[in-house]
Amino acid sequence: MSDISGTPRRRHRRRGKALALGVPLTLTAAGALAYGTDLGAFGSGAQHTASAATAAPAWATASADGFASVNALGQNGTYGGRNGKTVTVKTLADLEKYATASEPYVIVVAAAINMNPVGKEIRVQSDKTIVGSGTSGHIVGGGFFLGQGVHNVIIRNLTIRDAYQGVWNDKEHDFDGVQMDGAHHVWIDHNDIRHMADGLIDSRKDTTYLTVSWNKLSQENKAFGIGWTTNVTADITIHHNWVRETEQRNPSTDNVAHAHLYNNFLEDVAGTDIKSSYGNYSRGKTNMVLENSYFQGMTNPVVRDTTATLVQRGNLFSGTSGKNESGGSGAAWNPKTYYPYTLDKTADVPALLKSGTGPRSSIGTTTATTTAATTTTTTKAAAAATLTVAKDGSGQYTTVQAAVNAVPANNPSRVVIAVKPGTYRELVKVPGNKPHVTIQGTGGSRKDTTIVYNNASGTPKPGGGTYGTGGSATVAVEADDFQARNLTISNDFDEGAHQDIAGQAVALRTAADKVFLDGVIVSGDQDTLLVDTASKDKLGRVYMTNSYVIGNVDFIFGRATAVIDKSVITLKKRFNGTSAGYVTAPSTVAGRKGILIANTTIGGDVSDRSFHLGRPWHAGGDASLDPQTTVRNSTLSAAIRTAPWTDMSGFHWKDDRFAEYQNKGAGAGAASSERPHLSDAQAAGQEVVDWLGDWTPTAS
């Protein structure tokens, strides 16, 4: 594309036009962080569906184990809405209608549902089962609230994500995945809860007879808090949960009469910015039994107050440091006097939970098997139409490109390429005749699976000639309806070692419509993410959520209609250690929408006031283009210049479309001639839904 200075070209006159107006619509789309993010239906774009079933599916008859199975407080176990009608919902209105009803329901969530407003928590009433249909049930930008006396509730097989508001330790927004205040007999099972604004699960104010099992809790400052009471009456079981990329409350268990934690996996992932401050915490007057759990890399893996009691049995600790405590004067208790259970071997816990936690593609095959000694739940995953890639030969293919090559031309339906953890140094191209492809990392973190190469503009091609900017991409997507999730795409071109050629080195190039990037890292230096279209006259929409984009010069650029939502944009220094750069360089076609950055954090380890938010790229000197970047409802660090927009290659930014709306942080600033802000009316026409039009990104 362009170098950092640019060559002067002919200016063009400002075209007289107004920013589009529209009906205000507050969106709560992901990413996490969704994240995480698989995005859901947007407002009026969602299909209004609620259909009654004549017979409840197998998973609707499942009952809880642990303390949620105990006969107490007038409730004999937890079975949710098993005795009520089964309905399928795809909209917020229908979900809220049935979840808040007085009669029992089994509510099957069959789409990604966006909470409106952000942080909304549906007030679930008693006798409800809320369960995801396969892996398609997502609650985006909010969660559930169970108030005083609410009981007999099952929340199962859902992804609840992306209420994150850009502040890591967010004390302003109490946006939880599931919050319970004085509820009882609740089963939270097989969910993926991540990237919320305060905590993932909060069990408060004497909530009791609670079982939390087989969940993946991640990407959050506070994972699971229990307490907010001086009473010591609650009985809680927490088993087979994978807690990772969290800092605290893993869980923090305050004033719980009987806390039984077993077969959990707490993991502090090396090399990330998220560091644990503690693991399992027996707090206040809690009496905790902690069994056969696995702690990996945790700081202060097990902590207790001097007033608390904590019994440890069979736990394993790998690479941990700091406090690892037990003891106390409380009365000894045996969980088996309350309910039956069987312990898995501690050494097997990481592998077991990495493969078994979170939503199941076919929760309907779950069966409960009861013996004289134990009650166990076994989940069988349905066979997926998937191509597997593994470097070690344990998959069908050893390279990602080989799996892409195996996708039939003009395939009519989704093909998932599941890539096992590892570093895949290769070039990947998804050609235009292979739509509906998903490339998905199967590791616990998006850092576990990396596709990387080091071509740049000017790198010699094997057959002669050199690559251009677009041709340098590590991953090139030319097929519509492409999805990528839970992986890293990188270009590690060494600009310092190759000053003989240009520094443009693309990690990911998209030249297609309906491209959905969820829970990914796209990393490079200059020209990291090229969001393009197949041709100037074709529409190309990209939705990125719950993701990271890393770079320094024009590193989000192109002519696509692209949204970066609920993500993190990381600014990095140049190869020579200097701080100077540009976040966006749109080359939008006139009459189309360009780049929208919303609900996102922009910052990095660079000098203050050293980065512009964007500049207009008139590719090839094309004066007919009308570049657009809008940055709204985002957090800007002090790295952003007080005059955040600048000219490029002889084209003046004021002749194009650059604006902000309701940003915050040290890099935000008041409206001025050098810093235009949208009015409320203008902003109403520049929501995420305005960018995506008739497309509702949905995880597949």
Give me the residues paired with residue 131 across strands. 108, 156
* Pairwise CA distance, residues 586 & 593, whole Å: 10
Q: With the C-alpha atoms ordered 575, 569, 169, 251, is the resulting torsion angle positive or negative?
A: negative
Instruction: Give the DSSP letter string of 596-641.
Output: EEES-EEEESS-TT-EEEE----GGG-TT---EEEEES-EE-TTB-
* Pairwise CA distance, residues 466 & 463, whole Å: 9
Question: Is 494 an annotated catalytic residue?
Answer: no
> Among residues 38, 170, 554, 565, which one is catalytic?
554
Judge contact between 40 and 112, C-beta under 8 A.
yes
Judge contact between 474 and 489, C-beta under 8 A.
yes
Residue 546 DSSP label: S
> Among residues 268, 527, 532, 690, which one is catalytic?
527
Please compute, for residue 544, the number of CA atoms within 13 A of its CA located in the half-sphere on the CB side: 25
3-class secondary structure, 401: helix
* Pairwise CA distance, residues 508 & 528, whole Å: 7
Question: Is 527 an annotated catalytic residue?
Answer: yes
* Pairwise CA distance, residues 131 & 156, whole Å: 5
- How is residue 92 written in tokens? 């917020």
Please compute, for residue 411, the number of CA atoms within 13 A of its CA located in the half-sphere on the CB side: 22
- How is residue 418 written in tokens? 């599941």
Helix (H) / strand (E) element for 682: namely: helix 680-684
SS (H, E, C) 45-109: HCCCCEEEECCCCHHHHCCCCHHHHCEECCEECCCCCCCCEEEEECCHHHHHHHHCCCCCEEEEE
Supply the residues annotated as catalytic. Answer: 527, 554
